[in-house]
Amino acid sequence: QEILTDPSYTGQIVTMTYPLIGNYGINTEDVESKGLFLKGFIVKELCEFPSNYRSTESLDSYLKRNHIVGLQGIDTRSLVRQIRTQGAMKGLLSTVDLDDASLLQKVQQAPGLVGRDLVQEVMPKENCSWDISLSELGRPADFVSGAERANGPHVVAIDYGMKWNIPRYLRDVGCRVTIVPGTATAKEILALNPDGVFLSNGPGDPEPLTYAIETIRGLLGKKPIFGICLGLQLLGLAFGGKTYKLRFGHRGANQPVLNRRTGKVEITSQNHGFAVDSASLPDDVEVTHINLNDQTAEGIRHTKFPAFGVQYHPEAAAGPHDSHYLFSEFLQMMMV
């Protein structure tokens, strides 16, 4: 359900490798956005009779209600092996046109993710405040909530397609949160008098988002900045670096990442198809985290300005809790 409602999957067909999906149904609490933005959902076998005390409807009903095409009955692990061999590729699901030649032509003509601005399809249209903190089920056992703090630091979160668990976490560490559209300018953000700025996750290629890169450059050195996923990529571009499309995107909740500052290995939850080119970063930008599977950059930090980011999702719930400290680091950065 969190995958289905994550705006980062905009325009994509998602396949699951676990053989039986939908066992616990759909509930009203685990949504990560206002809707579903993916184009299709593929499973080996769909559970038709979910069983969970929070379940309000089946996965099949949920997909139909949101007009998302679903497909079951294929060998999803074989499909994933094909993607692992050939790299991420275009796909098409059809219940109308069943002609192979016609479908192949449509796939070839369909736009890919590179060079497209998908953020404006999913971002909010106006500012709003956020006052919802983590639920008891989503809060780690050792996590002490600061959500009741009335005068905590004010964070402006730039929403490029943000998962809702991120502002929940910001609330839980004691921040007051204002969400602004991904097209907000530096002047508009500074007018809100934030103590810090958060750059959210989001879909697609960061390079076409020139308006976002310009905004971040206008904030550097003026306010502490923390970016996650797409936010990290945009931060890297604002620093003067470059990004590129990964042949194999990083997906799943068990990606090993080395924190080069502490020497510790963190198990992380990831969902991204683009990455920052470490070699392109200027000398005043430090690569703080690397992926141990392919040695790509997973975290960067400016050595002169209070600005840092990670490529993975420290707010994942359910998911690994190894990286929750990043929210506390951001909080401390704003309180200096």
Active site residues: 229, 313, 315
* 3-state SS class at 141: coil
Q: How does DSSP assign 224-269, residue by residue?
A: -EEEETHHHHHHHHHHT--EEEEEEEEEEEEEEEEETTT--EEEEE
Residue pair 229/311 in contact by the 8 Å Cβ criterion: yes
Residues in the chain: 336
Sign of CA dihedral 71, 77, 82, 87: positive
Paired tokens of 215: 């905004």
Residue pair 70/63 in contact by the 8 Å Cβ criterion: yes
Pure H helices in the chain: 59-65, 76-86, 100-109, 119-122, 165-172, 186-190, 210-219, 230-239, 325-334
C-alpha pair distances (Å), 61 with each of 26, 48, 84: 9, 10, 31
Residue with tokens 């490798």: 17
Q: Which residues make Cβ contacts (< 8 Å) with residue 177, sequence separation at least 6?
A: 129, 130, 131, 154, 155, 157, 167, 170, 171
Paired tokens of 16: 């699951």
Among 333, 327, 314, smallest CA distance to 144 is for 327
Q: 96: which DSSP letter? A: S
Alpha-carbon distance of 51 to 308, in angstroms, equals 42
Among 307, 281, 330, 300, smallest CA distance to 221 is for 307
